[in-house]
Amino acid sequence: MATSEPREVIDIPIIINGRCKYPSASDPLHQIDYENGLRVRIPAMRESDLEVLKEERPGITAALSSVSTDEITQFLNEAGDQWMARRSEGRRIADKYAHQITGFPPEMLTADYETIGHFMVNRYHAYDQIAAEFGHERIFDEWIPNQMCYVRAFPRGLLLHYLVGNLPLAGMYSILRGIMSRNCSLAKLPSRDPVTVFGLAKAMIDVDPEHPVSRSLSIAYWPHGARIEDECLRSIDSACIWGGAAAVEALKRRIPANVPVAEYGPKWSASVIDLTRCDPEEAAYRLVEDVSFYDQEACFSTQRAFVLGPVEEFRSHLRRYFDHFAKRFPLISGNRDALAHRSATLLQARYSGLEVDQGEHWAVVVINDGEAGSLPHPLTRTLFLHPVTSLSAVRSYLDQHTQTISLLPWDIASEHRDEWALAGANRLVELGWSRLPRAGFTHDGTHGMHPLVRLVSQERPRNDFGKYYLRPGNRKDWQRPYFLGDRWWSDPWWFLAGRDAVTG
């Protein structure tokens, strides 16, 4: 990162229980410098801030727990309306700076911001997500009958979001999960994108700073190895961790026992196309969408495409649509290591005799059928294209790190989903729609809100036999007292202890 005098300084506050604390001369600051000359300054979170967060949390949690899903969705609707209309200061800050910091094109970030705004504005999205994950949309509001029990979901308390900046949508969605599950959220901002999640939180606080949702939000930044991180990890009740394998493993080792973790570590995704049953041109432009968005830095971005049928015409369509996509969303990564990795990978591929198609913003490497290839995938819009003689061959390439498989034609799903799921795939979608999960989806093989809540059960009384237990025909007989241990009992379950042995 740059160390020269910045061309512009962006001051971002930390947020403690919905209260913004901007940088000041008297407070220690964290400073993040970027190669394009931007500098972000944010106050360092101190132990006194964490104490305030912990002291006020019980009251905030109680207030938030008493807010119905109806009220939650109404608040999100109002905040989302401000967000979509760009009337909130938070949205304007995100629009102005996020693309400069992340390197993603502004239009790409706008697509994410509109997606999250749509989720907030349309109240049914939250209801649908809750119902899909817990079986009932009112499980946070009511005790729901479940066999011989009643069940209700309660927040765990303080939820730590350990965020990454390579996928802006993920950070915003993580915060919304915390809100829907009624937790107090502490979000650790990533240096790659410290403004997107701050912008969304600021948009909510501006609607009503005293609303329980606003008061439940805390946002901070600390560098790797900071002491405050250990203090935070000792204070949390649940965690949602995004990141690479090393980061996720290191954090999990430091999280106390009985603190559940929703982890989203590194995964890879693929596409499967049967050119004998679909239009090659349509397949090409759909595949380019799944490959190119976020420059393959998202787990659901396609890295490998397994293609059955003639590929020469298909490759010509790919070249055209990769160039077409790049005109609107150019690859502007300034990461020298990433670009050097891609150059080295393509050089190695050519040296190994593999066919390579390459443009200014993309590359396609054709991998021989039956070979996984020893090439390390460099991301940066690089597609490994595998011609296959059978779609059943795809199974041998999948593993426990496979997240999404996008398909064309859609009939492929019903034909091969069982074998691919057994091989490790977690999600099947139609080609071209990888980046927009639908209500009810599983996230890396789980429902994402489950580790964030406690499912409390109240059992029905013992005189409710339910449908599973035989009920004696003589009511007076099963109500008579019996002797067990050192006292007489009167209970309909006397026969479970052995009638002849314990009755007097």
Looking at the domain assignment, is residue 182 inside a domain?
yes
In this predicted structure, what is the pLDDT of residue 3?
57
My answer on whether 320 and 242 are in the same domain is: no
Number of alpha carbons in the 13 Å side-chain half-sphere of residue 172: 29
pLDDT of the chain, 504 residues: tens digit per residue? 445 788 899 999 999 999 999 998 888 999 999 988 999 999 999 999 999 999 999 999 999 999 999 999 999 999 999 999 999 999 999 999 999 999 899 999 999 999 999 999 999 999 999 999 999 999 999 999 999 999 999 999 999 999 999 899 999 999 999 999 999 999 999 999 999 999 999 999 999 999 999 999 999 999 988 999 999 999 999 999 999 899 999 999 999 999 999 999 999 999 999 999 999 999 999 999 999 999 999 999 999 999 999 999 999 999 999 999 999 998 876 667 788 888 999 999 999 899 999 999 999 999 987 666 678 899 999 999 999 999 999 999 999 999 999 999 999 999 999 999 999 999 999 999 999 999 899 999 999 999 999 999 999 988 887 887 666 555 554 555 555 555 555 555 544 555 444 444
My answer on whether 79 and 117 are in the same domain is: yes
Domains of the chain: total? 3
CATH number of the domain that residue 386 is part of:
3.40.309.10
Looking at the domain assignment, is residue 2 inside a domain?
no
Interacting residues of 496 by C-beta distance below 8 A, sequence separation 6+: none
β-partners of residue 39 are: 9, 33
Looking at the domain assignment, is residue 31 inside a domain?
yes
My answer on whether 282 and 259 are in the same domain is: no
Give the containing element (helix H, strand E) for 149: strand 149-155
Q: Which tens digit of pLDDT belongs to each residue from 315-373?
A: 999 999 999 999 999 887 666 778 888 899 999 999 989 999 999 999 999 998 766 66
My answer on whether 277 and 261 are in the same domain is: no
CATH number of the domain that residue 142 is part of:
3.40.605.10
Distance CA(170)–CA(176), nearest Å, equals: 10
In this predicted structure, what is the pLDDT of residue 368?
84
Q: Which tens digit of pLDDT belongs to each residue from 389-442?
A: 999 999 999 999 999 999 999 999 999 999 999 999 999 999 999 999 998 999
Q: For residue 243, give the DSSP letter.
A: S
My answer on whether 326 and 185 are in the same domain is: no
Looking at the domain assignment, is residue 51 inside a domain?
yes
My answer on whether 183 and 279 are in the same domain is: no
My answer on whether 217 and 254 are in the same domain is: yes
- How many CB atoms are closer than 10 A to CB 338? 15
Distance CA(300)–CA(278), nearest Å, equals: 23
Looking at the domain assignment, is residue 416 inside a domain?
yes
My answer on whether 291 and 322 are in the same domain is: yes
Looking at the domain assignment, is residue 437 inside a domain?
no
My answer on whether 83 and 36 are in the same domain is: yes
Domain of 493? Answer: 470-502
My answer on whether 272 and 260 are in the same domain is: no
Dihedral over Cα of 193, 195, 198, 200: its sign: negative
In this predicted structure, what is the pLDDT of residue 371?
67
My answer on whether 400 and 332 are in the same domain is: yes
Interacting residues of 429 by C-beta distance below 8 A, sequence separation 6+: 404, 405, 406, 407, 437
My answer on whether 345 and 401 are in the same domain is: yes
Q: What is the pTM of this model?
A: 0.90
Looking at the domain assignment, is residue 316 inside a domain?
yes
Looking at the domain assignment, is residue 440 inside a domain?
no
